[in-house]
Amino acid sequence: MPIKNVPFEALEVGMEAQRTRTLKADDLYVFANSSGNMNPMHLPKEDGDGDGMSESVAPGMWVASLISAVLGCKLPGPGTLYHAQTLRFLGRAHAGDELTVKVRLTAKGDNRLVTFDTWVEAQDGSRIVEGEAQVFAPEKPLQFELEDMPGLTVQRHVHFDHLLAMAEPLPAIPTAVVAPEKVDALAGALLAAEHTLIDPILIGHSEKVSAAAEEGGLDLNGFRVVDVRDHRLAAKQAVAMVNEGGAAAVMKGHLHTDQLLGEIVKRDGGLRRGRRLSHVFVMDVPGLEHLLLVTDAAINITPDLQTKADIIQNAIDLARSLGLEQPKVGVLSAVETVNPAIPSTLDAAILSKMADRGQITGGLVDGPLAMDNAIDLGAAATKGIRSLVAGRAEILVAPNMEAGNMLAKELTFLAHAEAGGIVVGAKCPIILNSRSDDDRARLASCAVAALHAARERTE
C-alpha cells in the first residue's frame, strides 16, 4: 500500500491523523535487541520486580516511537524530519494492549517548522503518553511503495517452551545415561534432572564421570553411578536395565551412536519390538506456527517401502504424544507428481494409499510433495494441489537419511531452529544428543522422551 505526504503548503492548523497498533510480545524482544535495553521489566518471560510474574511492560520510548510512525507515514508523512519532542508518561502499556496514536497540527512556523500535539491512548481511551512534537514538514508531494520492506522473525522458541511446560509436571523418568564421561554429556543429563524430566542413572567409567563433573563444576550427590569401563558393555547394561524395569529411557552420552544402537537392535536381549527403529527430529522453527517433525535423518540410510511405513508410523505416534491429535504427514520428494523415473515419488504415492487403507494410522498422509508445497499454502495453491496436508505438513518424511539430515541441519543453521529428537520404535524412548546441541536442545529431547514415555504407559 502506498504512503504519501501532505507538503508544508497544504498543511492547515487542526489537521489530525491517527494509527492503531497492538503491542505484541515479539515487539518487546525486537526493541530490546535494537536499543540494547535489556531491563527484565520489559521482557515477556522475565520477572523484573520479584513478584513471581512477568510484567511485559512496554518501554516508554517504544510507546513514544509510535508517534514518529504517524508523523513520518501519515501527517505530514514521507520527507518529515524531527526537530524536537516532549513527552509525559501517564500510564503503562503491556503486551497484548491495543494502542491508538494521535497527532493534531497546532502551529506552522518559518522554514517549514510545524508543531503537533501528540498522544497515545489505551483501548479505554485513557492517555498513557502525551507531549508536543516539532518537525520539519516536506516541501513537495511525495509517494512511496514499500512492498519490498524486509520483515523480521523473532528467534523465540515458544513451541519448546510449551513442551517443557507439558513435561515438567510428569514424574521424572528413570533414564540410563550411557558413558556420560564428558562435560557436555553429563551436564545435559543433570540439567534435565534439575527440570524433573529424567532421573538419570549414570553408566560409565566412574573416574571419567567424576572428572567430567569436576571439570564442569557439577554436583553428583544423589545420583547413581554404575561403574562400567567399556562403552559397549555400558550400552548393554543400559539395555538390560530397561528390560528388567529399572529404566524407562536410554540417553546417549560420549560414545559412538553405532555402539549404543548395536546393543539396542539386537534380536536377543535388545529393545526391538517388531517395528523398525527410526529417528525423529522435533524442531521449533522461528515464525512457524507449529512444531515441525523431520524423519528419518539419523538411522535408516536408504529405507525401503516397509521401512518408510514404519518411519511414518513412529513419527505419528510421537507427534500424538506431543499433543498433535491428527498429525499431517508430508512425504517429500523433488516434485509433487508421480514420476516413475523418481522412485521416491512412487513410494510416497503408495504410502499415501496405505494410510487411506488403514495400514498407517493416527495421521493424515499425503505425497509426493515437494518441500515448498508441503509447508506453504501459497505454493500448494499455485501448483493446484488440493489436500488437507499440502501447505500444512507437521511431519516431513525425507526420501533417505541424507536428505533428512541435510533438511534438519539447514533448518537449524540457516533458519535458526532449535532441534531436539529421539529414536522411536523401541521398547522405550532413546535420547540421541549431538555434541553441538545446546542446553535447550538437550532439554527439549528429554521433554519429548518424557511425554512419549508417559503416553505409551497409558496405552
149 within a domain of the structure (yes/no): no
15 and 88 part of one domain = yes
pLDDT in tens, 279-336: 999 999 988 889 999 999 999 999 999 999 999 999 999 999 999 999 999 999 999 9
387 and 238 part of one domain = yes
> Residue 442 in 3-state DSSP?
helix
Strands (E), 81-126: 81-89, 98-108, 113-121
32 and 174 part of one domain = no
pLDDT in tens, 61-92: 999 999 999 999 999 999 999 999 999 999 99
Q: Residue range 392-397: average pLDDT?
A: 96
C-alpha dihedral (368, 372, 377, 378), degrees to nearest 10: -130
C-alpha dihedral (28, 32, 38, 44), degrees to nearest 10: 20
Residue ranges making up the domain that contains 122:
3-144
Write down the pLDDT at residue 155. 62
Write down the pLDDT at residue 44. 81
Write down the pLDDT at residue 156. 63
231 and 310 part of one domain = yes
197 and 338 part of one domain = yes
User: In the Cβ-directed half-sphere of 333, how many Cα atoms lie within 13 Å?
Assistant: 20
d(CA 259, CA 228): 14
pLDDT in tens, 154-184: 766 778 888 888 998 899 999 999 999 999 8
Write down the pLDDT at residue 342. 96
Look at 76-90, 109-123, 180-194 and tell me which has the smallest mean pLDDT: 180-194
Write down the pLDDT at residue 159. 85
Q: Residue range 41-65: average pLDDT?
A: 86
25 and 114 part of one domain = yes
205 and 129 part of one domain = no
Higher pLDDT, 278 or 443: 278
362 and 326 part of one domain = yes
Backbone angles phi, psi at 285, to 5 degrees: -100, 120
Contact present, 300 and 307 (Cβ < 8 Å): yes
For 59, 75, 103, 161, the CA distances from 153, given in Å and listed in that order, are 20, 29, 30, 17
Q: Residue 409 has which C-alpha cell? A: 541441519
123 and 248 part of one domain = no
d(CA 122, CA 120): 7
Q: Residue 182 has which C-alpha cell? A: 564428558
435 within a domain of the structure (yes/no): yes
Domain boundary pick from 116, 144, 172: 144
What CATH number should be reported for the domain holding residue 188?
3.40.718.10
47 and 165 part of one domain = no
Write down the pLDDT at residue 2. 81
d(CA 193, CA 121): 47
Q: How many domains does the chain have?
A: 2
For 8, 116, 131, 289, 363, the CA distances from 108, given in Å and listed in that order, are 8, 9, 17, 48, 66
150 within a domain of the structure (yes/no): no
Look at 52-56, 123-127, 269-273, 396-400 and tell me which has the smallest mean pLDDT: 52-56
Considering the chain, what is the average pLDDT of its residues? 92
